[in-house]
Amino acid sequence: MTGLGIVLAHLAGDYLIQSDWMANEKTKRWWPAWAHAVTYGLPYVLVTQSPLALVVIVVTHAVIDRYRLARHVVWAKNLMAPKTYRHSWSECSGTGYHQDRPPWLAVWLMIIADNTIHLAINTAAVVWLGR
């Protein structure tokens, strides 16, 4: 049940609770990033009673979203590809994928990477820092 709770809390916090203002402004300013991170953490109160796990979930969420860190992870993992698939950061800075990738696909792949990073951290926090 914990795994399902973690996934449902993530989906509720990132997609149901997050306002359009938070989604559009969280990468530009800290106030919307923190507002989103705190409201994102609310569903996790039903998953864990560990204050430390909640702090880890909220703080890492704010930092990851504020700096759009998923794009850096995507770009770095693509550096392991053959040379013809490796591109400079200036050609990939929007999503981590090269500009020749269809924009809709690059955005969705970055969102999937972002969700995976959040879920991995949140699972670790809940499992290792207490339920």
From first to last of its 131 residues, the chain has per-residue pLDDT tens of 699 999 999 999 999 999 999 999 999 999 999 999 999 999 999 999 999 999 999 999 999 999 999 999 999 999 999 998 899 999 999 999 999 999 999 999 999 999 999 999 999 999 999 76
Structure tokens at 14: 């990132």
State the Cα torsion 90-75-24-29 to the nearest 10°.
Answer: -80
Non-local CB neighbours of 83 within 8 Å, separated by 6+ positions: none
* Amino acid in the structure at residue 81: A
What angle, rounded to 10 degrees, do the helices at 103-129 and 2-11 form? 140
The amino acid occupying position 129 is: L
Give pTM, 2 decimals: 0.95
The alpha carbons of the chain give a radius of gyration, in whole angstroms, of 16
Q: Structural domain boundaries of the chain?
A: 2-129
Q: What is the pLDDT of residue 1?
A: 61
Q: How far apart, in whole angstroms, are the C-alpha atoms of residue 73 and residue 35?
A: 24
Q: What is the pLDDT of residue 130?
A: 79
